[in-house]
Structure 1
């Protein structure tokens, strides 16, 4: 049984992220937790009594919106192995999500990259990087705006072999590949022509972790930026999903630095699976 957390802001992008998650785990027992978090700071211009009244009214509206969203999800569900639950909370985005991840033993977070309802303070879109950087020990799948959900048949997994992976770090990727019978292209994006002895050792470790999967190793030449190199590789190989391990001060951080100005989440045309680094 998989536990999947879907941040909801009632936008089309949030609904698309849910549809992608349903597609990704089609035919597998999965509980989808539809989470709505809104931040509402009390106004200094209003009394405590008025602030409380406004918060209560907002909470009631949010609860009804979330229930309506749940009803739509349930009516349109055609997989008997899928179930849905709703969670509504007031508070800080990362703090609330980390708490839900722990309390509900969440296996994956799947979220859209854009979207908002009215002027409410919601977190999908420009805060995607905050979620990726702030969530602890839970993989995050980012679904681009307007992406048409389909099961992945080819996954591009990027690594430079400069560190050894442990099985638990790659389990979310392995599970998705197995569930969808997907092949993995292991993309080595680096300036150096040859691997060091340590990198060769780490490559052998990765072979062991992927021993039950269909995979190949590929080297990618970098002409402009590592971000563009990975995008081009994914495009030319007709990949359906890009996977990265999020360790600090590495390739992932370079991706953020290179593309953070060019909108959010690398402006990727494909869903991104961001795997957590385990210390």
Structure 2
């Protein structure tokens, strides 16, 4: 169960939407939410000026975070929800790693991009860094215009080239069991049939996913993986996408595809990135 949830925010409408989604996702759970604001302060040659600026930014962030906590509490989603405020003067990905380690965070929920992201970008640079480099904790990424909907169907793309541990599948199973979701296991056929190793991994996956509902789906390898997954999400009414991040994974191949650099990875549903 996700007992401690980290919510990074830059006080934008996009990050508020991600926080609102997280609160609704865990509305029936007893959770402690950590609201994190991270502002990298460029050091001035004048130490006294840097100290004053740092203090001003800290006080401003503290004021805004308290306002956001009050705003959340006004919705009265769950009186057993608890909130803690965190402020960091470091890069966002480093701040997240610090908070995860210090407070034993179970899940990070963040927006696809921040207020300063390039126009037209699907993922902001901070989010991409968190996805690519942060390890040891799952991240749930919420699209800009995504309204909360119970995740009744969760897509899980896999090539069956490796087995998954119970630890890796735990975040996926936890959410699926919370909402009695069906896990839709998607395999994009790069071969006519699975080899012996893939068959073994497929069988192990079904065993590890029990008692969750699951269903296998097969798609021909006709386009870039990002495009095929996007089509699958739209046509199969998927409410959440989940992938395990590891070397040579489907997720890694997507971020290495040239199409990512042109149109980026389209995601209209929450995207759960699970560490190896």
The aligned residue for residue 238 of structure 1 is 237
CA–CA distance in structure 2, aligned partners of residues 19 and 203 of structure 1: 36
**Aligned runs of 1:1-279 on 2, under 5 Å?**
2-44=3-45, 47-116=46-115, 125-258=124-257, 259-262=259-262, 266-277=265-276
Structure 1 range deviating more: 135-144 or 109-118: 109-118
CA displacement, residues 14-38 of structure 1 (integer Å, 9 cap, x when unaligned): 1111111122222111111111111
- SS for the counterpart of 2:272 is strand
Ranges in structure 1 where 5+ consecutive residues have no aligned partner:
119-123
- SS for the counterpart of 2:125 is coil
Structure 1 range deviating more: 192-201 or 127-136: 127-136
CA–CA distance in structure 2, aligned partners of residues 107 and 77 of structure 1: 23
CA–CA distance in structure 2, aligned partners of residues 22 and 148 of structure 1: 12
CA–CA distance in structure 2, aligned partners of residues 183 and 63 of structure 1: 40
TM-score, reference length from structure 2: 0.92
Q: CA RMSD in A?
A: 1.7
TM-score, reference length from structure 1: 0.91
Give yes or no for contact 1:23–1:151 (8 Å, CA) kept in 2: no
Give yes or no for contact 1:144–1:269 (8 Å, CA) kept in 2: yes
CA displacement, residues 69-98 of structure 1 (integer Å, 9 cap, x when unaligned): 111111123212322211111113222211
Give yes or no for contact 1:74–1:84 (8 Å, CA) kept in 2: no
- SS for the counterpart of 1:29 is coil
- SS for the counterpart of 2:261 is coil
Shift of 1:262: 4.0
Shift of 1:200: 0.5
The aligned residue for residue 121 of structure 1 is none
How many residues are aligned here? 269
Ranges in structure 2 where 5+ consecutive residues have no aligned partner:
118-122
Shift of 1:180: 1.0
CA displacement, residues 155-207 of structure 1 (integer Å, 9 cap, x when unaligned): 00111110011100000000000001111110012311211100101111101
CA–CA distance in structure 2, aligned partners of residues 103 and 38 of structure 1: 19
- SS for the counterpart of 1:218 is strand
- SS for the counterpart of 1:127 is helix
Shift of 1:250: 2.6
- SS for the counterpart of 1:267 is coil
Q: 1:268 to 1:62 in 2, by over 3 A?
A: same
Give yes or no for contact 1:13–1:115 (8 Å, CA) kept in 2: yes
